Amino acid sequence: MEIKIAVIGLGYVGLPLARLFSTKYPTVGFDMNQHRVDELMQGHDSTLEVSDELLGDAIHNHNFVCSTNLDDIRDCNFYVVAVPTPVDNNNHPDLKPLWGASETVGKVVKKGDIVVYESTVYPGVTEEECLPVVERVSGLKYNEDFFAGYSPERINPGDKLHTVEKIKKVTSGSTPEVADIVDSVYNSVLINGTHKAPSIRVAEASKIIENSQRDVNIAFMNELAKIFNAMGIDTNDVIEAAASKWNFIKLKPGLVGGHCISVDPYYLIQKAQVYGVLPRVMFAARRLNDGMGDYVANQVIKCMNKKGILVKDAKILILGITFKENCPDVRNTKVVDIYHTLSEYTNNIDVYDPWANAERVEHEYGISIKTQLPDEKYDAVILAVAHNEFRDIDFSAIRANNSVLYDVKGVLSRDIIDGRL
C-alpha cells in the first residue's frame, strides 16, 4: 500500500503533523479556512508552531500543499483528523468540529482507506460518534470497506524542545493489521517511536488521563497556594524545600487555561456520569482551577487595600493574555478572569501582550490589548504570563509612587514585588 496522506485541520496540531508527514509521504493539508490556507501557502504560520524555514522547505522541496478544495484530497488513502474538541458554555463536550470533519472525510473516503483521529476525546467517541458519520456520508461500511485508527495528539503549543517529531506517540487501529499500518506510518517519522495500544478506546483513554492527571496535580498546588497565602508562607519556598526529596512531583500553582488541560477533563467527567460514576476528584480540581483567575484578582485587591490604594477607578496593567508564555495561543486563557473581576471595580485596565494577536483577542473576549508597553504609571501591575520580554521591563518606570506589583508566575525578584501566587 503506497501511502498518500491528507491531514484535516491545519491548526496547532494538524499543521506540524502534516509538515512532518510531508518529509516521507505525499501529503495534503486540508482546512475550511481559506485565509489560513493562503497564509500557509505563502510560507508563514501565524501560530508560530512551524517556522517559516521548515514550512518553506515542505512546500518547495517536499511538494506539501494546503487546500480548501475537497478534490485535492480525493486520491489520498490515509486521512488524519486533527480538529479541536472544545466544550460548550456548560462545559459539556462539543463534538460539532469532529462531526464536521467526519462528514468531510465521508465525502472522499474510498474502499481500503484508513481514517485516523488525533483529537482528544472520551473513550468511544471515534467508533460511536465519528465513524457512523463517515459511514452515513460515504455509504461504506466501517471495518469492511474502510478502516480506522486513533493516535492522540501530544503537541505542546510554544514548546520548541518537545516538537512533534520528538514526541513518543500512542497509536491504535480498528483491526490488528490496520494497527500495524498506522503504527508503521507514525513510526517512520518519529525520532522516539510509538506505543501501540491494544484498542482505539484504550488509546482515547490514555490521552484524556494525561491531561486530567496534570489538572488534578496543579489543582493541589493551587489549593496549597491558597492555604499558605492565608498563613503568610511563601508557596514557592515550600515547594523548593519539598522538592529536595527525590520522589516529590515539583509543580507550581498557576492559571490553568489553553485547549487541553482546562478542557479535556470535562470530556471524561461527562462520560463517567453516563456509567454512573461521579468523578469527585477531577470535578473538584476543575472547579478549583477555573476559579484561580478570580482568586488572583482578589489577592491583588487585598495588596492594594493594604497599601491604602483605592481600587475604584485605579489604573491597572495586566502583562500577558496568552494562556502560556512565549506563545501566541489565547484559547481558553484564564487571564481574562483576572480582567473581568478587576473590571467590576475599575474601567482603567490595560492589557499588554507582544505575542497575542490583538484582533483575535478582541474577537474572542471583547478586550482591546496593547502590543507596545504603555508609557504610563499604574496603581497596580500584574505579571500574568511569563513572556521573556517581561523579565527585562523596568517596573519602576511603569509604577506609580504608591503601587502594587503582583507576580502570578513567580519569576520576578522578590525585592520588587508585593505579592505572588
| Averaged pLDDT score across all residues of the chain | 94
Residues 176 and 295 in one domain: no
CA max distance for the chain: 74
Buried b (16+ CB within 10 A) or exposed e, 137-169: bbebebeeebbbbbbbbbbbbbeeeebbeebeb
Number of domains in the chain: 2
Count of CB atoms within 10 A of residue 241's CB?
A: 10
Reported confidence tier of residue 163, pLDDT bands at 50, 70, 90: confident
Residues 299 and 189 in one domain: no
Residues 22 and 150 in one domain: yes
Reported confidence tier of residue 1, pLDDT bands at 50, 70, 90: confident
272 within a domain of the structure (yes/no): no
332 within a domain of the structure (yes/no): yes
Residues 28 and 177 in one domain: yes
271 within a domain of the structure (yes/no): no
Domain boundary pick from 206, 233, 263? 206
Q: What is the pLDDT of residue 262?
A: 84
Query: Which of 130, 260, 303, 327 does the annotation list as catalytic?
Result: 260
248 within a domain of the structure (yes/no): no
317 within a domain of the structure (yes/no): yes
What is the rounded CA–CA span in Å between residue 254 and residue 408?
7
User: What's 399's domain CATH number?
Assistant: 3.40.50.720
Residues 170 and 295 in one domain: no
413 within a domain of the structure (yes/no): yes
CA distances for 421 relative to 180, 237, 252, 255, angstroms: 47, 11, 9, 10
Residues 195 and 297 in one domain: no
Residues 10 and 117 in one domain: yes
Domain boundary pick from 206, 234, 266? 206
Residues 201 and 302 in one domain: no
Domain boundary pick from 191, 206, 221? 206
**Span 35-64, pLDDT tens digits:** 999 999 999 999 889 999 999 999 999 999
CB–CB of 127/148 below 8 Å? yes
Q: For residue 25, is pLDDT > 90?
A: yes
What is the rounded CA–CA span in Å between residue 69 and residue 71?
5
Q: For residue 129, is pLDDT > 90?
A: yes
Reported confidence tier of residue 82, pLDDT bands at 50, 70, 90: very high
**Span 183-235, pLDDT tens digits:** 999 999 999 999 999 999 999 999 999 999 999 999 999 999 999 999 999 99
62 within a domain of the structure (yes/no): yes
Q: Which domain holds residue 186?
A: 5-206
Residues 202 and 324 in one domain: no
Let me know if 260 is a catalytic residue: yes
218 within a domain of the structure (yes/no): no
Residues 14 and 155 in one domain: yes
Residues 331 and 196 in one domain: no
Residues 182 and 315 in one domain: no
Reported confidence tier of residue 156, pLDDT bands at 50, 70, 90: confident
Average pLDDT over residues 280-284: 95
